[in-house]
């Protein structure tokens, strides 16, 4: 990968703090300073809400200055401590939407001393089926306060069931809870934007100078939904690895189960890793640099069948790669198709790990829950029984039912552009959970709708990071991660100074926008 050495200044809020799943943000009383005694400066304020949203209650809780550490959750990246956090005020707003029978929790965290506020409001997004972290002491909101922002988050009314639990999607009578799905899809972040800016203005007696949204995965999808549906809510949106076209791509990531069934193979992760190792070896130097990373996976034409007959040692046993397994791997890389061969969605890129998304008989929880509680409305649905034919039917069913609710695929961002909004996205080329080409396809459709790449570059830029896994997960990333805070810093400079980012600095050099 050809790189330049210029490095941007780090932003105020660490990127890692923004990307931690909500489930990892709970902390113990012993790990944080005790709540401060209620102070005159920490108080409730009058709050405005969007039409159709009714405020149920408002309360304020003073939080003490200090250092905050967090328990580690097995299987998730470690949550770094956040030190020297100034005292802040949590204003908790509960809202409902008449007819939806919902209870939505919104938390706004504001530095108590105005001198610790940078004049900006920052809404934060969620992860998987969590719309955001509104826990008692929320990692992304504490990080926002540390960085000088007013931070905001919403739970969309789906509560704290967990990022991989979508059981809230079904009512007791077996019908879809459209009220909560509408919240999760887009309504909740619009509420957060309006209420968050209202609370900020009431607390400091002046409006925020700029408003931002930051998120990855579900958070990235929320950002795109805002740009499409509520184009004046935010001045800048940082939406990484966006889970756009949710109804399509979630089903697409169950494709491996159908492939394994039809090709009659059940490979171990060790066997699958052999294919990625061979693909990287074959395509590493396409960009002229040998660095153990496929710079442009779309240019890698290596065929998995070249490994047929090769020996691999897994758990002390020597195995021979079969033609059937090679065929299966090629099909997973190519992505789902109909029984007649028509593309339905994109596959994962060569070089990306199979660890979560392609385990025989173990479908990844997020798409599995989507199929159970939404598409089929059958909690007993078994994705491990999928065939090519039943997969195509499931995909088309998801498209028909949910395009209008959580499709997030409208390429006409003209209102967002006219409002002066800026949309910045990076997506890892080795993202195993959300196929990178879905983001690329969306950007191409925006180009076609709004007059070409040069015009779109004025307000929307995408950076593809070679070798980087989902939301920069270090465990499976082999390429350079975005320098902490550099993406948000770049967005702020773009919004406030008109300095459009030509590149993002990573731990392995600079990556230029696509």
Residue 12 has pLDDT above 50, yes or no: no
Q: Determine which of 72-86, 98-112, 163-177, 477-491 has the lowest per-residue pLDDT on average.
A: 72-86
Residue 5 has pLDDT above 80, yes or no: no
Q: What is the DSSP letter of 364?
A: -
Give pLDDT, residue 14: 33
pLDDT-derived band at 73, boundaries 50, 70, 90? confident
Give pLDDT, residue 7: 25
User: Which H or E element spans position 213?
Assistant: strand 210-216
Q: Determine which of 221-230, 238-247, 504-513 has the lowest per-residue pLDDT on average.
A: 504-513
Give the mean model confidence (pLDDT) for residues 184-191.
98
Cα distances (Å, whole numbers) of residue 437 to 120, 255, 345, 405, 430: 33, 16, 9, 22, 11
Give the mean model confidence (pLDDT) for residues 310-331.
98
Give the mean model confidence (pLDDT) for residues 214-221.
98
Cβ–Cβ < 8 Å for 491, 236: yes
Answer with the residue of higher pLDDT: 8 or 250.
Answer: 250
Q: What is the DSSP letter of 51?
A: T
Q: Determine which of 17-21, 80-84, 388-392, 474-478 has the lowest per-residue pLDDT on average.
A: 17-21
- For residue 437, give the 3-state DSSP assignment: helix
pLDDT, the chain, mean: 92
pLDDT digits (tens, 9 = 90+) for 252-283: 999 999 999 999 999 999 999 999 999 999 99
Residue 331 has pLDDT above 70, yes or no: yes
Say how far apart CA 211 and CA 228 lie, in whole Å.
17
pLDDT digits (tens, 9 = 90+) for 48-62: 999 999 999 999 999
Answer with the residue of higher pLDDT: 512 or 460.
Answer: 460
Say how far apart CA 176 and CA 170 lie, in whole Å.
5
pLDDT-derived band at 233, boundaries 50, 70, 90? very high
Cβ burial 340-378 (10 Å sphere, 16+ → b, else e): eeeebbbbbbbbbbbebbbbbeebbbbbbbbbbbbbebe
Q: The tokens of 275 are what?
A: 């294919």
Give pLDDT, residue 513: 76
pLDDT-derived band at 13, boundaries 50, 70, 90? very low
Residue 130 has pLDDT above 70, yes or no: yes
Residue 24 has pLDDT above 50, yes or no: no
Give pLDDT, residue 511: 81
Domain boundaries for CATH 3.40.50.1820 within the chain: 15-31+68-92+100-244+408-512
For 15-31+68-92+100-244+408-512, CATH gives 3.40.50.1820
Give pLDDT, residue 35: 52
Give the mean model confidence (pLDDT) for residues 384-391.
99
Tokens 């909101």 -> residue? 141
What's the pTM? 0.92
Give the mean model confidence (pLDDT) for residues 83-100.
97
Q: How much of the chain, in percent, has pLDDT values that exceed 90?
A: 85
pLDDT-derived band at 303, boundaries 50, 70, 90? very high
Tell the burial category of 323 from Cβ atoms under 10 Å away from its Cβ (0-12, 13-18, 19+).
middle
Tell me the catalytic residues: 217, 431, 470
Q: 8-17, 157-166, 394-403, 467-476: which has the highest mean pLDDT? A: 394-403
How do 509-512 and 317-320 pair as beta strands?
A: unpaired
Residue 162 has pLDDT above 80, yes or no: no
What backbone phi and psi angles, to 5 degrees, belong to 482? -60, 135
Give pLDDT, residue 325: 99
Give pLDDT, residue 21: 38
* Closest alpha carbon to 129 in 167, 163, 169: 163
User: Which H or E element spans position 109?
Assistant: strand 104-111
């Amino acid at each position: 990968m050809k790189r330049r050495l210029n490095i941007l200044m780090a932003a105020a809020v660490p990127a890692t703090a923004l990307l931690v799943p909500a489930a990892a943000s709970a902390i113990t009383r012993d790990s944080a300073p005790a709540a401060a005694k209620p102070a005159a400066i920490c108080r409730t304020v009058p709050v405005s809400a969007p039409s159709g949203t009714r405020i149920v209650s408002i309360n304020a809780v003073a939080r003490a200055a200090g250092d905050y550490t967090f328990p580690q959750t097995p299987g998730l990246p470690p949550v770094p401590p956040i030190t020297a956090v100034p005292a802040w005020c949590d204003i908790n707003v509960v809202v409902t939407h008449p007819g939806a029978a919902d209870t939505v929790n919104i938390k706004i965290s504001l530095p108590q001393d105005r001198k610790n506020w940078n004049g900006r409001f920052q809404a934060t997004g969620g992860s998987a089926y969590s719309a955001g972290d509104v826990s008692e002491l929320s990692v992304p909101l504490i990080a926002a306060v540390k960085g000088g922002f007013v931070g905001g988050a919403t739970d969309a009314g789906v509560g704290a069931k967990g990022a991989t639990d979508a059981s809230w999607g079904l009512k007791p009578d077996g019908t879809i809870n459209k009220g909560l799905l509408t919240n999760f899809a887009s309504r909740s972040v619009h509420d957060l934007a309006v209420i968050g800016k209202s609370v900020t203005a009431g607390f400091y007696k002046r409006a925020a100078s700029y408003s931002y949204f930051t998120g990855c995965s579900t958070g990235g999808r929320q950002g795109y939904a805002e740009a499409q549906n509520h184009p004046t809510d935010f001045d800048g949106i940082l939406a990484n690895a966006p889970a756009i076209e949710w109804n399509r791509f979630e089903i697409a990531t169950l494709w491996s189960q159908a492939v394994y069934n039809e090709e009659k193979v059940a490979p171990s992760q060790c066997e699958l890793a052999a294919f990625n190792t061979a693909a990287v070896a074959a395509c590493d130097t396409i960009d002229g640099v040998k660095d153990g990373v496929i710079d442009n996976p779309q240019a890698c034409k290596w065929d998995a069948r070249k490994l047929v007959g090769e020996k691999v040692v897994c758990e002390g046993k020597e195995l021979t790669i079969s033609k059937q397994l090679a065929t299966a791997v090629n099909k997973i890389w190519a992505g789902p198709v109909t029984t007649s061969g028509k593309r339905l969605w994109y596959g994962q890129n060569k070089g990306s790990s199979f660890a979560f998304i392609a385990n025989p008989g173990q479908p990844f929880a997020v798409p599995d829950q989507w199929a159970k509680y939404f598409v089929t409305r059958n909690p007993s649905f078994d994705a491990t029984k999928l065939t090519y034919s039943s997969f195509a039917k499931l995909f088309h069913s998801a498209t028909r039912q949910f395009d209008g609710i959580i499709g997030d695929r409208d390429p006409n961002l003209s209102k967002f552009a006219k409002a002066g909004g800026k949309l910045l996205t990076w997506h890892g080329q080795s993202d195993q959970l959300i196929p990178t080409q879905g983001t690329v396809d969306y950007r191409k459709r925006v180009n076609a709708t709004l007059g070409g790449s040069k015009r779109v570059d004025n307000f929307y830029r995408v950076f593809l990071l070679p070798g980087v896994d989902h939301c920069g997960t270090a465990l499976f990333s082999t390429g350079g991660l975005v320098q902490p805070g550099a993406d948000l810093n770049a967005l702020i400079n773009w919004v406030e100074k008109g300095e459009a980012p030509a590149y993002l600095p990573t731990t392995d050099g600079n990556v230029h926008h696509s």
